[in-house]
Amino acid sequence: MKKNIITGIIILGAIAIIAVILTNNKKENKEKTDIVAQKNAAVSVKIETVKTEEVSLDFTSNGNFEPIQELTFSAEKSGKVVSVLAKEGDYVSVGQTLAIVRSDVINVNAQTANSSYQNAAADYSRYENAFKTGGVTKQQLDQARLTMVNAKAQLTQANINVGDTRIKAPISGFINKKYIEPGSILSGMPATSLFDIVNVSKLKLKVNVNENQVASLKIGTPVNVTASVYPDKSFSGKITFIAAKANESLNFPVEIEITNNASNDLKAGMYGTAAFASNQQKQSLMVVPRNAFVGSVSSNQIFVIENGAAKLKTVTAGRILGDKVEILNGLSDGENVIVTGQINLQDGSKVEIIK
């Protein structure tokens, strides 16, 4: 009996100990959960410090090279191709014969037109002599002259048609694509495509600049140009076009003309960079990283850190200088601006700074 009482006391003691341990664990887990919840309530962000620094006003802009001339030309008349004298990759000069179309009927028509003209010219000469002696009237002479003029016009057109049997290059450049082969049947309606010709002796680099940058540009200004595939080569260009109106992105298209080198290293479609040099020396400007802006620079809104929370500020942005933006108003030196994590922030959100 005594033994059973002792056993019961031991069991009750063990149960009490287990209950105390479980209570302590529950309390500890709750404290940890509260800490995690509090930590998760803060948004992780990275920051940069606002500062005034010496900034170069030079800037670059990227785009793609385009040929100074390119043309897909088509057949003007119907016929059968009997010979193709150029292939893809060939360089051709303006006026060079690229293909020949069958000309049997056209040549016969030209010969007939020539005979008609010769007869009309001879008739007019006879009428002219006869008019001097009173053998024909002035009306008859005028009719003979009109017949000769019409015959001359028909001969001219016939000779043009003969010339059309020799398809000639309208511009100088490289044959980029050939659409015809011997035996191809050409059609004037709709016109059959013949060749693509691309002139890359000069190229255009089309880029976009913002309103602050375009203000300093002028037609004819020299620009240094590089191509991504030739990082060690530099090409000289000049500005040939500045748009008078911004595009949908509020940028201004600018074209730079570049003379290709002797080996025509630059190809149309390559990726290029134009380096615009400013006439002004470096200036001391207050700047922030471009990615500090909420959305885009045009939003003029930036989050700063105040007392461990994000505060949304409206600023006045100036010039875009590469990956930095000039700040004209709204910030002070030494303030910390948020550069990543803005998408998860609202005004007043708690933040955790990632070092």
Q: What is the pLDDT along the chain (355 residues), one digit of tens a residue?
A: 555 566 656 666 666 666 656 666 665 655 544 444 444 578 899 999 998 888 777 888 999 999 999 999 888 777 788 899 999 999 999 999 999 887 655 666 767 888 888 888 888 888 888 888 888 888 888 888 898 899 888 888 776 666 567 889 999 999 999 999 999 988 767 888 999 999 999 999 999 998 878 888 999 999 999 998 998 889 999 999 999 999 988 889 999 999 998 888 999 999 999 999 876 667 788 999 999 999 888 889 999 999 989 999 999 988 777 788 889 999 999 999 999 988 888 899 999 988 7
Can you say whether the dihedral through the CA atoms of 312, 315, 319, 321 is positive or negative?
Answer: negative
Give one DSSP letter per residue of 69-104, joined into a string. Answer: EEEEEE-SS-EEEEEE---TT-EE-TT-EEEEE--H
What phi and psi values does residue 282 have, to the nearest 5 degrees?
Answer: -60, 145
Contact assessment for residue 275 and residue 225, using Cβ atoms and an 8 Å cutoff: yes
Q: What pLDDT, on the 0 to 100 scale, is given for residue 240?
A: 96
pLDDT of 100 reads: 87
Which residues are bridge partners to 303 per DSSP?
A: 312
Q: What share of residues in the chain are helix, strand, coil (percent, to 5)?
A: 30, 40, 30
pLDDT on residue 188:
67
Distance CA 249, CA 329 (A): 24
Q: Find out whether 223 and 274 touch, Cβ atoms under 8 Å.
A: yes
The vertex-165 CA angle with 162 and 169, nearest 5°, equals 120
Half-sphere exposure of 107 (CA within 13 A, CB side): 6
pLDDT of residue 6: 62
Question: For residue 34, what pLDDT is reported?
Answer: 45
Paired residues of 60 in beta bridges? 275
Is residue 305 classed as helix, strand or coil in its secondary structure?
strand
Alpha helices in 165-233 (DSSP H): 211-214
Domains of the chain and any CATH numbers: 44-56+282-353 (2.40.420.20), 60-67+200-276 (2.40.30.170), 104-163 (1.10.287.470)
Distance in angstroms (rounded) separating the CA atoms of residues 57 and 149: 69
CA 269 – CA 63 distance, rounded (Å): 9
Question: What pLDDT, on a 0 to 100 scale, did the predictor assign at position 59?
Answer: 83
Helix (H, G, I), strand (E, B) or coil at 164: helix
Cβ(177)–Cβ(89) under 8 Å? no
Determine contact, residues 285/44, Cβ cutoff 8 Å: no
CB-based contacts of 33: which residues, under 8 Å, 6+ apart? none
- What is residue 176's predicted lDDT score, i.e. its pLDDT? 95
pTM over the 0.75 mark: no
Q: What is the pLDDT of residue 342?
A: 87
Of 279, 260, 251, 196, residue with least CA distance to 63: 251
Radius of gyration (C-alpha) of the chain in whole angstroms:
42
44 forms bridges with which residues in the sheet? Answer: 352
